[in-house]
Structure 1
């Protein structure tokens, strides 16, 4: 069974993140907040595609559902203020 911490590690291995938090305790359904400068200038769909690419085949096999909130560092700082 996949843990939220393992999923965080999978994402950060292939995507530089300023902040990441993944929640989920059933092993297949997860919620995440991901902040990355790689998202700058990209649409939400493109940002999500970067995360899916970072996860590779795991998205088809191990992960049933991943809810994502993606932010650039600037967006994250504005939201956190």
Structure 2
């Protein structure tokens, strides 16, 4: 089963989100074609009501701990309550930062 699908299933089961996007961003990085190593998760759920950002991220990381330990190199998390999502983003998820890893780093600046 594809890692992206596993992540989606685990998050759907754990959080019952009103909005969930699991986006494979591996092609934006210095990895072989078809890789599943870099993901962005946008999750909107009432389960985050009353939680600060760090506990939300810890909760998501706990659900996908096996994938993080064995298969995923990077996981960008965008975690929202429904009211935050509709107030700030509605249907447009935030962009992930540019990758500076691998051969894309200008070695002279390091």
- Name the residue aligned to 2:5: 5
- Name the residue aligned to 1:14: 14
Q: TM-score, normalised by structure 2?
A: 0.64
Q: TM-score, normalised by structure 1?
A: 0.84
Q: What is the Cα-based RMSD across aligned positions, in Å?
A: 1.9
Larger Rg: 2
Q: Is the 8 A contact 1:2 1:62 kept in 2?
A: no
- Of 21-30 and 8-17, more deviation after overlay is shown by 8-17
Q: CA deviation at 1:3?
A: 4.0
Q: CA deviation at 1:32?
A: 1.4
Distance 1:19 1:30 in 2: 16
Q: Is the 8 A contact 1:13 1:54 kept in 2?
A: no
The yes-or-no answer on 1:68 pairing with 2:96 is no
Q: Is the 8 A contact 1:15 1:54 kept in 2?
A: no
Aligned to 2:22, the other structure's residue is in SS state: strand
Q: CA deviation at 1:56?
A: 3.0
Structure with greater strand share of residues = 1
Gaps of 5+ in 2: 27-34, 92-110
Provide the aligned length of Structure 1 versus Structure 2. Answer: 81
Distance 1:73 1:54 in 2: 20
Higher relative contact order (CA 8 A, sep 6+): 1
Q: CA deviation at 1:54?
A: 1.5
